[in-house]
Copies of this chain bind each other. A is one copy, B any other.
Amino acid sequence: MKDHSDLACTNVHSAIQDTLYVVNGKWKLLLLSILINEGTKRFGELARASGISPRILSKELHELELNQLVSRQVCPTKPVTVEYSATPYAGTLKEVIDAMIRWGQRHKQKLVRS
């Protein structure tokens, strides 16, 4: 008999929902992917690389910071620049991100073929 007890299913369901809650919306996983794969970036660079408007970008980065997935470093240049990096903890999301990249690529191939 497979493990379909209520408890096990509930845990699986809530685990997915917990993850979705942290990385909700159109942008968070994209931003993490950029920071993980391309390293530290400044605010403006992220805005250009992602196509996100400054208001949304600011909000998303702030939420990612609250979840300890990105770190923010202010550089005392003139005028100031701000650098964002993926934290080590964000690395634990890499397998999610990579799986999504692979699936998106395969899915596009499928659409072309059909």
Contact = CB atoms under 8 A, between A and B. Distances in A.
B99 A99 contact: yes
Given A24-B26, A107-B22, A15 B92 contact: no
As for how many copies of this chain the complex holds, the number is 2
A56 interface: no
B104 A16 contact: yes
26 contacts: A4-B38, A9-B34, A9-B38, A11-B105, A12-B37, A12-B101, A13-B50, A15-B100, A15-B101, A15-B102, A15-B103, A16-B97, A16-B100, A17-B30, A18-B107, A18-B108, A19-B101, A19-B107, A20-B26, A20-B29, A20-B30, A20-B100, A22-B107, A89-B110, A92-B103, A95-B99
A1 to B, nearest CB: 13
Given A93-B103, A99-B96, A16 B29 contact: yes
A98 B27 CA distance: 21
* Interface size range of chain A in the complex: 35 or more
Interface of A: 4, 9, 11-20, 22, 24, 26, 29-30, 33-34, 37-38, 49-50, 89, 92-93, 95-97, 99-108, 110
